[in-house]
Amino acid sequence: MKYQKLFAGRIGGESFGRGESLYKFEKIKRARREAETVCPERPIIDLGIGEPDQGADPAVVEVLQKAAGDPANRGYTDNGIPGFQQAAAGYMHQVFGAAGLDPEAEVAHGIGSKSILALLPQAFINPGDAMLTTVPGYPIAAAQTKALGGEILPLPLKQENGYLPDLSLYSDTELARVKLLYINYPNNPTGAVATREFYQRVVEFARRHSLVVISDEAYAALVYDGEKPLSFMSVDGAKDVSVSVQSLSKAFNMTGWRLAFAAGNAQVIKAFREVKDQYDSGQFAAIQHAGIYCLAHPEITQAAVRKYSRRLDLLVDTLNYLGFEAVKPKGTFYLYVKVPKAVSSGERFTSAEEFSLHLLHRHGVSTVPWDDAGAYVRLSVTWTGEDEEVIGTLRERLHGEPFIF
C-alpha cells in the first residue's frame, strides 16, 4: 500500500489499518449489523445509543433559522462570540450556583465537548508527563494524552465506593509526573453523581499535587429524584485548579449541533484558546445564538429529565424482575449493571463483551459492554419508540432465560 510506511506512530504507524483491534463502538456497530442480517424479522432493541432520542426544542430551532439568514453571522467566529460566553457564565450561576465567572477571561466555547477534551491535553502534556483518569469512562482526553507521548494512570470506579475514585491510589513519586486529572460526573457509564464533599477533596488534592482538573460535565443537568445539579465550579476553590467542560449536546438534545464550553481557571482557558486557534475557527455564530437561547432557558432540560427518569424506573423494574441487581442512577441516561456469570442454558460469560454479544445475537438487544473495572453493561434509556412497547418486548425476549449471577 502506497502510504503505509508514512503513517504516524500515534495511529499505529506502519501497522495502521492492519490490526485486529477495533474501536469498541465500531465493533458494536458491526455486531449489530450482523445480528440484523441473520435475523431481519426481529427489530433490534437498541439500548446502546449514547445520545438523546429527540431533537432540539422548536424555539431553539427557530432562533437558529433566523440567525442563519443574518449576514452578520456568516464569518469565522474564532474564539467565539461574547454573547455566548456571557450566557454560559449566567447558566453556570443559575443552574449550578457557580457565581462570578468572568465571561471574557474564564469561559471559552468549543465545537462540542469532545473537541474541548481532545484539545486540552495539547496545552499541558509533553512526552513523559502523566494524566490521572477515571475508568471506565469517556476516552478522548486519555487518548490524546497518549498520542502526545503522555502516560495514563487509571483510577478505577468501583461500585463499593459509589463509583468515586480513590485519590490515594498512587504514591507522591508517581503523582509528581501528573499534570492533569480527568473526572466526569454525572458519570458515563456508571450514572453516578459526585458529592460536594468529594469535589472538595479533589480541590485539595489538585492543590497539593499542583495539577489541573478537567471536570467533564456533559451530563451535569441530567439528575433525578431531587438530586441538585452540581458542577465542580460550584465548589470553593475549584476555579483555582480546574475547568469544567459543559455541553449542550445532552442537556438540550443538540448532539449534532456541536456546541460546548469550558469555564474555570483563566490561565487554563487562555492556553486552551491558544491551542484551539490552531485547530478550528470557531462554531457558526448562528449556532452560538441558538445556544445563548438555550442557556437562558435551562427549564428546556427538565422535559428530558422527566422522560429519562420515568424510563429509568421502568428499566430498573424490568431488570430486577429478570434477576439483575439494578439500581436507578442519580444522573445521566445510563443504567450500569453487573453482568451475570452464565445463563441457565449453560453459556458462561467471562467478560461483559461476551454477555453483550449474547444479548445481541440471542435476543436482539444492543448494549455497551465495559470491562475496565469489573464486567458491566451500560443500557441507555434513549430508545426510540413507545416506552411500554419497548419495555414489554424487552421483558418478553429476556424472561425465558434465567440469568445466573
Residues lying near ligand PLP in the complex (CB under 6 A) are found at 50, 112-114, 138, 184, 188, 216, 218, 247, 249, 255, 260
Tell me how far, at minimum, the Cβ of 218 lies from ligand PLP, in Å.
Answer: 4
Spatial CB neighbours of 84, under 8 Å, sequence gap ≥ 6: 109, 261, 288, 289, 291, 292, 295
Distances (CA, A) of 230 to 92, 98, 205, 239, 349: 10, 9, 19, 14, 37
Tell me how far, at minimum, the Cβ of 106 lies from ligand PLP, in Å.
Answer: 19
C-beta of 56 vs 175, nearer to ligand PLP? 56
C-beta of 140 vs 175, nearer to ligand PLP? 140
Per the CB < 8 A criterion, the answer to whether 113 and 259 are in contact is: no
Tell me how far, at minimum, the Cβ of 184 lies from ligand PLP, in Å.
Answer: 5
Report the C-alpha dihedral over residues 46, 52, 58, 59, rounded to 10 degrees. Answer: 180
Tell me how far, at minimum, the Cβ of 76 lies from ligand PLP, in Å.
Answer: 21
Task: Give the helix ranges, DSSP H, for 131-195.
Answer: 140-147, 172-175
Tell me how far, at minimum, the Cβ of 402 lies from ligand PLP, in Å.
Answer: 33
List residues bridging with 404 in a β-sheet: 342
C-beta of 308 vs 349, nearer to ligand PLP? 308
Alpha-carbon distance 346 to 9, whole Å? Answer: 43
Alpha-carbon distance 261 to 109, whole Å? Answer: 4
Tell me how far, at minimum, the Cβ of 301 lies from ligand PLP, in Å.
Answer: 14
Spatial CB neighbours of 140, under 8 Å, sequence gap ≥ 6: 114, 117, 118
Per the CB < 8 A criterion, the answer to whether 202 and 181 are in contact is: yes
User: Position of cell 504507524?
Assistant: 13
Per the CB < 8 A criterion, the answer to whether 164 and 192 are in contact is: yes
C-beta of 142 vs 337, nearer to ligand PLP? 142
Which three cell numbers mark 122?
495539547
C-beta of 112 vs 291, nearer to ligand PLP? 112
Task: Give the helix ranges, DSSP H, for 69-223.
Answer: 82-96, 103-106, 113-119, 140-147, 172-175, 196-208
| b/e 211-225 (16+ beta carbons within 10 angstroms → b) | bbbbbbbbbbbbbbe
